[in-house]
Structure 1
Amino acid sequence: MVPAGDDMAPFDSVTARLILLLAETGSIGRAAEREGIASSAVSRRVSDLEARLGVVLFDRSAHGVRLTKAGEAYAEGCRTVLRSIADLDAIMADFGSGQRGSLRLACTSSALTGRLPELLAKFAAKYPGIEISIGEMGAAKALLALDEGQADIAIVSDNYDFKRFDIKPFEDERVWVLAPPEHPLAEQIEPRKALPFEAVLPHAIVGIHHAGSLDRLLSEAAGKAGKALTEALRVESFPALVRMVEAGFGIGFLRSTSLHLLAGTDLVCAPLAEPWAMRQLLLARRKSSPLSAAMKSFMALAGETYLPST
């Protein structure tokens, strides 16, 4: 017989998500801001949980918080339970007609500037009873959202580790370089002619999204060429990159899905010639996750409308 007052409290999904958010951000303040609650409420939830479990989940310091060994084990358990809850929702949705439900997408900026908006418009018109939610984030965070059961499908660039995921091609894209017409590199850019990467390496660039997929791709390519990219400055959005290149801070790089941002500018551009610059956006989902009716319908529509580059 269990003594009164010693009953184990039920699993708290809100606290579980906070634990994972703290593990990701390393900051009580940032986690509280992301969840829209007070920092004191986050601290109290974690302290109450630690007291109930009898373990310390986080090492606290002036620099933030970090999972202990016990915390790492608990966080992995939270991911497992939250994935199971999300999977159960998907399984139950399949018992319906398939005309109702939800679809949670985690997408990069590149995905949202390509064919995805038009595809979602078709999907919404065909399945008006399915609620669509979209989270715009970097590829690494999108894959983490899949892992934690916070997204059904991620649409991300192809230069990541996909061993845990089922993937399908979603959209072809190529890396382009852009420059102001008065820039020295502009003299080497000819209409419809690809430019070798070695031609751009001597020039300062406007960087984008530190450790993002495009940043990683370019840095790795420069490293293989025995060079380092020189950044004049760094921005966090592609429209800002275009404006800074226009202003003369340096050359920049865009994927073909974002070339529409050059409309109304006098910037010149060319695709990079190397095979590594020919990339794909991928549609990814967890291998272990059940396919809900909404996911099946979206993936089918995405496959029907995908046109590989020739």
Structure 2
Amino acid sequence: MWQPDPASLRLFIAVCEEGSIARASEREGMATAAVSKRVADMERGLGTQLLIRSSRGVNPTPAGDILLRHAKQLMLGVEQMQSDLSEFSSGVRGLVRVLANISSIVEFVPEEIASFLQTHENIHVVLEERASSEIVRGIAEGSADIGICRDFVAEREVEMMPFRADHFCVVVHRSHPLADRSEISFADTLGYEHVGFAPNVALHALTRRVAHEHRRTIRYRANVTTFDAACRLIHLNLGLAILPAEAIQKYQPLYDICAVKLTDPWATRQFVICVRHADQLSSAASKFLAHLTRPLPAGNSS
């Protein structure tokens, strides 16, 4: 049985990506015959054909497709391992990988990381923005240590613990017909054009579901990926948006916009921290989790 090794996997990836053993050989700086023999050895060891060879080049067989997918995952893991370990040569004594959604990043995550690093200088925290559904999947698959996301995503073999809360509001231009309202229901916004977000953003699915419950549809003027982009569109009176009130406080001084309280029960939402197994976290990740879940001073719990 063939035993996979990084060199062979890298060669096989190159052959599939180039669609040619000759071009893969040039890319990897090896003789064509050597690459061809390496692939043939892999096929013999696995007992199955991996490539369909023709005068126009090569294409992976179904078995080759499976090997290619796993090879890419393994090579990414090797590269990540090398990157993670290289941190220790510069004095780092721990690494924590964090996935967080855009709301939490705008509202509080950078401040939490900064305050943590004040007392843990030798721990390196790497932050990556993801949609809430992608965060849960990433934690379940082990691509990060800690996730911070919304509570309205399906659990997927991860531990979730309540974190902070925030409150959605309706953000409009100051001249918008709804700007003078002190509060409003989501249903009352459906007569106006919305600025929405990408389909993989949890808020997008939530608002579409609520609109469906009212037997209505949302009319989108635009779909964006950041709060700043949404606020710029609202500033130009190109629609309204449902956004976290806590995040909008940072944008109100910059744009001609205002926030109207949303009265629906779902407007108050919970952030959750998710981990794969809390008792199996590294020492560095455990320390960051303890920092996140520490008791906050009175009046700063949201």
| TM-score (norm. length: structure 2) | 0.72
Structure 1 runs, 4 residues or longer, greater than 4 Å off = 11-15, 47-51, 65-83, 305-309
Aligned-pair identity (%): 22
2:178 to 181, 185, 205: 185
Q: Match for residue 206 of structure 2?
A: 217
Deviations 1:212-264 (A, max 9, x none): 11111111111111111000122221101001011011111211342112223
Q: Structure 2 matches for 1:98-137, cutoff 5 A? A: 100-137=93-130
Over 3 Å counting, the alpha-carbon distance change for 1:69 and 1:209 in structure 2 is farther
Q: Shift of the alpha carbon at 1:139?
A: 2.0
Cα pair 2:131 2:200 within 8 Å, conserved: no
Alpha carbon RMSD of aligned pairs, Å?
Answer: 4.3
How do 1:1-310 residues align onto structure 2 when only pairs under 5 Å count?
A: 7-10=2-5, 52=42, 54=48, 100-187=93-180, 189-190=181-182, 194-259=183-248, 260-287=250-277, 290-306=280-296, 308-309=301-302
* Compared CA separation, residues 55 and 261, structure 1 to 2 (3 A): farther
Structure 2 residue identity aligned to 1:9: P
- Alpha-carbon distance, 1:170 to partner: 2.4
Paired residues of 1:79 and 1:147 also in contact (CA < 8 A): no
Q: Aligned-pair distance for 1:11?
A: 5.8
Contact 1:105 1:133 (C-alpha < 8 Å) held by counterparts: yes
With over 3 angstroms needed to count, the CA separation of the structure-2 counterparts of 1:67 and 1:115, relative to structure 1, is: farther
- The structure with the largest alpha-carbon Rg is 2
Tell me the TM-score normalised to structure 1 length.
0.70
- Asked whether the 8 Å contact 1:80–1:148 carries over to 2, the reply is no
Give the count of matched residue pairs.
Answer: 265
CA contact (8 A) 1:180 1:246 kept: yes
Q: 1:142 to 1:70 in 2, by over 3 A?
A: farther
Once residues 303 and 66 of structure 1 are traced to their aligned partners in structure 2, the CA distance between those partners, rounded to angstroms, is: 48
What is the CA distance between 1:185 and its match in structure 2?
1.9
SS at match of 1:174: strand
